[in-house]
Structure 1
Amino acid sequence: MTHYVAIVEEEEGKAVGVWFPDLPGCISAGDSLDEAMTNAAEALALWIDVAKEHGDAVPPPRALTELKRDPEIAEDIARYMVALIELHPLRQPA
């Protein structure tokens, strides 16, 4: 199974935002953490589908340890919650 790391931005009084460091533009949100996680899985699947339809390469997921070494992402990982979102087996990158 393939899992992508998601950054979960949860702040008082705001929707819960989710974005994927390995998939530019793949974002989602929800009014609650549960809704945000459900929506994140859907956003991940849709992002992969659209990339495949356009013949674009799907970046492989990086491990959390690798993302922590990326200076563009490390601060967000330290500040926000991190989740692993499973990519449905039928949508695995080619």
Structure 2
Amino acid sequence: MKYPIAIEAGNDTKAWGVIAPDLPGCFSAADSGIDEAIENAKEAIELWIETALDAGKDIPKPSSITDLQKKKEFKGCIWAIAEIDPALLSDDIERVNITLPKRVLARLDAKAKSAGENRSAFIAHMAISA
């Protein structure tokens, strides 16, 4: 997925500012230039999407840069694309094989049982809430 980002150029005394217009409240900054600004924007977008998904919210589709450039609040911005791994948006189930010592597996199963969950659900819950 490719999200347009609006970048406000920085200088020696001012950081580079970045906004992801399609994701309300998603912004970032960088000190060393446009490359860092784009990388930091990718991280901010990924975190925004993860938070929204965890909260059960819909993820907005990316707009076109051409449409966004027409808005006065973005006058003078540099435009770039932040490409996000589509796996971040996938709720497809994937079977995995993990290897754990028996004592660790026993603890994991006991904790899952006390939480009223199966092993897979418990691991997923722990990963999301961590």
Q: TM-score, normalised by structure 1?
A: 0.83
Alignment match, 2:85: 88
Kindly, what percent of the aligned residue pairs are identical?
Answer: 39
Q: Which moved more, 1:8-17 or 1:22-31?
A: 8-17
CA distance in 1, matches of 2:73, 2:19: 11
CA drift at 1:41: 0.6
Partner AA of 1:85 in structure 2? A
Query: Greater share of helix residues, 1 or 2?
Result: 2
Alignment map for 1:6-25 (pairs within 5 Å): 6-12=5-11, 13-25=13-25
Q: TM-score, normalised by structure 2?
A: 0.62
Aligned Cα root-mean-square deviation (Å)? 1.8
Of structures 1 and 2, the one with the larger relative CO (CA 8 A, separation 6+) is: 1
Deviations 1:21-77 (A, max 9, x none): 1101000011022222111110010000000000011111011122234xxxx2244
Alignment match, 2:39: 38
Structure 2: stretches of 5+ with no match in the other structure: 92-130
Considering only CA atoms, is the larger Rg found in Structure 1 or Structure 2? Answer: 2
Number of residue-to-residue matches in the alignment = 89
CA drift at 1:93: 7.1
Structure 1: stretches of 5+ with no match in the other structure: none
